[in-house]
Structure 1
Amino acid sequence: MAESREHTFTGTKGLNTVREWPHDRPRYVAVLIHGYGEHIGRYEYVADRLVRHGAAVYGLDHMGHGRSAGDRVLVADFEDVVTDVHAVEERARADHPGVPVVVIGHSMGGMIAARYAQRYGDGLAALVLSGPVIGAWEIVPTLLAYEELPDAPVDPATLSRDLSVGDAYAADPLVWHGPFKRATLEAFATTLAAIAKSGSLGPLPTLWVHGADDELVPLSGSRPGIEAIKGADLAERIYEGARHEVFNETNKDEVLDDVTNFVDRAI
């Protein structure tokens, strides 16, 4: 696997940790945006593939996630997370002036990436959304209807047909295994509405990848969200039989080939 290093910066709500997989002479910078309850350390394989493809890779542990500060999985406003990601992009650009930047977001990270593209897309070369929480995510209104939130953690078996992925997830001490926080669910609802109202991504080359058997973030809920923001250059890849984490699926190399081929075209 590609070597990595960590550094920290003061984000909108406290000290944030960033993982960097360096490349001496990158063709592009890839900014990875992880999903709910997890951390950027779960993206070693993705980062390794991207480094071998010519990228310098950066990824943030969001506030309340992984090694970053904050109450666990508490995000009161995802606009703050978008701002933190922008600080990572600015660091990457300072390290690699003039190099094109690609943003890749998975699940909740796909939602953050979509909102990021609406705020900062003019500076991006390409956007990749993997199983994005966008459009209608029924778990949000369902859970918010409860007076007391149920303890409904992610079922590791829904992540991948490679069951070792779920086993590693369940054993990972940096993964959150508890219930949602109400403020975070409310922030999801606010951000999903903001994305829907904020319009097209315009000419930004965008790739949407999704597992056809994704039970956590169903394809049927994400599609209307993609339709609401898609611009002039949208490609999609739906993988039959794949579950939520297509970057960790049994066909992950096919998925990452699609991503790197897309990036080659975009840059």
Structure 2
Amino acid sequence: MVEPVESNLPGHGGSLAVHTWPNPDARWRAVLVHGYGEHLGRYQHVADALVAAGAVVVGPDHVGHGRSAGERVLIRDVEAVVDDVHAAAATVAGDLPTVVIGHSMGGLIAARYAQRHRDELAALVLSGPVLGTWHVLDLLEHEQIPDTPIDPATLSRDPAVGAAYQADPLVWHGPFRRETLAALEAAVDAVNFGGPLEGLPVLWVHGEDDELVPLEETRTGTDRIRGLEFVERIYPGARHEVFNETNKDEVLGEVTAFVRQTLALD
């Protein structure tokens, strides 16, 4: 296991906790973008796989998440979060090809990052991304947002994943915030109308039985951004967190193989 180094960086909403998994022999830079209510501390095994595939890995806990400052899970502007991720990526020096890897809400942030910083990226990986349409945004129709936290059972077929999620004090277990949902809705629209990622190699991985971010809702968004170098991999029976699924080694193997092939590292 590669131990992460944590540092602090000024973000748009206060101090950002930036996690870096060093690799003195790095041949590429992986930028990890986590999902709603969680933090990058849950991605140790993902970082280990990426480091083993030749990457130096970096990413922030988003504003209001994990060890970063801010009112819990409050995001008012996803564009500002993209700026934070971009600043965190820049803390890793060196002329290395950059691959952004985003999960769930992080997939939405990563897609917007790619639209805004296309010339800086070598590839993009999207895991269960919130794109296209998302039924959770229907909560905005309520005068008061119902207290419907994420069900840990929707994350993985491995019950240990849900148990660890439920017991994690850095994970948000409360209801969605109206301001955050409104910001995500605006970001979904921005990606939908931000243009396709022509010429950028993209890998989309998704669980076929994802109830939290359903496959067909995401597909309405991937159809808008896909270019000619767009690859999708759908895993039968898998739920939302494919990096934490019972076949996670297969998923991470396909991600690293995609990157290594794209970057001609083999």
TM range (shorter): over 0.9
Q: Which one of the candidate residues 193, 206, 210 is aligned to 1:210?
A: 206
Who is 1:138 aligned against? 135
Matching of residue 226 in structure 1 with residue 226 in structure 2? no
Percent sequence identity over aligned pairs: 60
| CA displacement at 1:122 relative to structure 2 | 1.0
Structure 1 runs of 4+ aligned residues shifted over 4 Å read none
The alignment covers a number of residue pairs equal to 263
Who is 1:15 aligned against? 15
| CA displacement at 1:266 relative to structure 2 | 1.3
Question: After superposition, what is the alpha-carbon deviation per residue over 1:140-184, rounded to whole angstroms, capped at 9, x for unaligned?
Answer: 0x2111111111000001100001000000000000000111110
8 Å CA contact 2:77, 2:183 repeated in 1: yes
| CA displacement at 1:98 relative to structure 2 | 1.4
Q: Which one of the candidate residues 133, 151, 155 is aligned to 1:155?
A: 151
Could you tell me how far apart the structure 2 residues matched to 1:190 and 1:110 are? 15
Who is 2:72 aligned against? 72
Q: Aligned-residue CA RMSD in angstroms? A: 0.6
Matching of residue 121 in structure 1 with residue 121 in structure 2? no
Secondary structure (helix, strand or coil) at the match of 1:178 reads: coil
Q: Which one of the candidate residues 254, 261, 264 is aligned to 2:257?
A: 261
| CA displacement at 1:52 relative to structure 2 | 1.0
Matching residue's letter, 1:130: S
Matching residue's letter, 2:57: V
Question: After superposition, what is the alpha-carbon deviation per residue over 1:30-55, rounded to whole angstroms, capped at 9, x for unaligned?
Answer: 00000000000000000001111111
Secondary structure (helix, strand or coil) at the match of 1:217 reads: coil
Question: After superposition, what is the alpha-carbon deviation per residue over 1:174-224, rounded to whole angstroms, capped at 9, x for unaligned?
Answer: 000001111101001101001111101110100000000000000010001
Matching of residue 106 in structure 1 with residue 103 in structure 2? yes
Secondary structure (helix, strand or coil) at the match of 2:234 reads: strand
Could you tell me how far apart the structure 2 residues matched to 1:102 and 1:198 are? 20
Could you tell me how far apart the structure 2 residues matched to 1:74 and 1:232 are? 36
Who is 1:51 aligned against? 51
Within-5 A mapping of 1:1-40: 1-40=1-40
Could you tell me how far apart the structure 2 residues matched to 1:121 and 1:40 are? 24
| CA displacement at 1:2 relative to structure 2 | 1.2
| CA displacement at 1:59 relative to structure 2 | 1.5
Could you tell me how far apart the structure 2 residues matched to 1:154 and 1:13 are? 24
Q: Which one of the candidate residues 218, 224, 231 is aligned to 1:235?
A: 231
Who is 2:178 aligned against? 182
8 Å CA contact 2:64, 2:72 repeated in 1: yes
- TM normalised by structure 2 equals 0.98
Could you tell me how far apart the structure 2 residues matched to 1:148 and 1:264 are? 47
Could you tell me how far apart the structure 2 residues matched to 1:98 and 1:172 are? 36
Could you tell me how far apart the structure 2 residues matched to 1:13 and 1:38 are? 17
8 Å CA contact 2:59, 2:89 repeated in 1: no
